């Protein structure tokens, strides 16, 4: 993927046209948001951190939004492991550093907050890392769902733990519970040939 954002900026500046569209996915409706440079955001529409669409333009035909939709469809269908859409998230320099580190995690590769902190050169900054991960504005494509506890515990997720459990299972890591303290019980499935995944959503409690 092309990560175009390099400096902090404020979303919705007067000279900036922001467009969006809502799309269906196996895990619920998502809102995709784009600037002229790349994908600005991707949230499930029931997320607490979903920004207001005030000042944005709803469109059905935009090349960046369409590319993101197509790639997400392919990812959910088991036909894609990496994303190529250009990214243009808004954040602080530290947040960008963390989000870039998340983008470096391969399909099925998990990392703890401590490991991520060491990756960005802040070995004692796991708590700050957690804050930046939690503010990730491009869910799935910037794969914050791949961050777990040092003991493999599920921990948290902005899209909700049921979705995190499903996303990790799609990538080969199985959790029997949605409890944040649940630990991974198996992995290695990502080495197998892709089969069309069966997203049972919403799952029974």
pLDDT tens column, 20-30? 999 999 999 99
Contact 97, 120 (CB under 8 A): yes
Asked if 19-77 and 93-171 have one fold, the answer is: no
Say which CATH class 93-171 falls into.
mainly alpha
**Residues catalogued as catalytic:** 144
pLDDT of the residue at 197: 56
Question: What are the extents of the domains in the chain?
Answer: 19-77, 93-171
pTM: 0.87
Contact 183, 153 (CB under 8 A): yes
The per-residue pLDDT string of the chain (205 residues; one tens digit each, 9 = 90 and over) reads: 676 765 554 555 556 899 999 999 999 999 999 999 999 999 999 999 899 999 999 998 899 999 999 999 999 998 999 999 999 999 999 999 999 999 999 999 999 999 999 999 988 888 899 999 999 999 999 999 999 998 989 999 999 999 999 999 899 888 888 889 888 886 554 444 445 556 766 654 4
CATH classification code of 19-77: 3.30.160
- For 44, phi then psi, to 5°, come to -70, 140
Sequence-distant (6+) residues with CB within 8 A of 13 are none
């Amino acid at each position: 993927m092309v990560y175009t954002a390099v400096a902090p900026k404020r979303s919705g500046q007067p000279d900036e046209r922001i467009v969006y569209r809502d799309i269906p996915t196996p895990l619920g409706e998502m809102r995709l948001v784009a600037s002229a440079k790349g994908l600005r955001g991707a949230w499930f529409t029931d997320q607490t951190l979903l920004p207001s669409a005030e000042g944005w333009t709803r469109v059905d035909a935009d090349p960046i939004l369409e590319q993101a939709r197509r790639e997400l469809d392919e990812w959910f269908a088991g036909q894609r492991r990496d994303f190529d859409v250009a990214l243009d998230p808004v954040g602080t320099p530290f947040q960008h550093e963390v989000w870039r580190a998340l983008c470096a995690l391969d399909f099925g590769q998990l990392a703890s907050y401590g490991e991520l902190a060491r990756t960005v050169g802040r070995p004692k900054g796991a708590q700050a890392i957690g804050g930046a991960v939690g503010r990730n504005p491009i869910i799935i494509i910037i794969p914050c769902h791949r961050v777990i506890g040092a003991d493999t515990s599920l921990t948290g997720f902005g899209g909700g733990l049921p979705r995190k459990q499903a996303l990790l299972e799609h990538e080969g890591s199985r959790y029997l519970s949605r409890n944040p303290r649940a630990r991974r019980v198996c992995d290695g499935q990502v080495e197998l040939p892709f089969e069309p995944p069966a997203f049972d959503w919403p799952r029974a409690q």
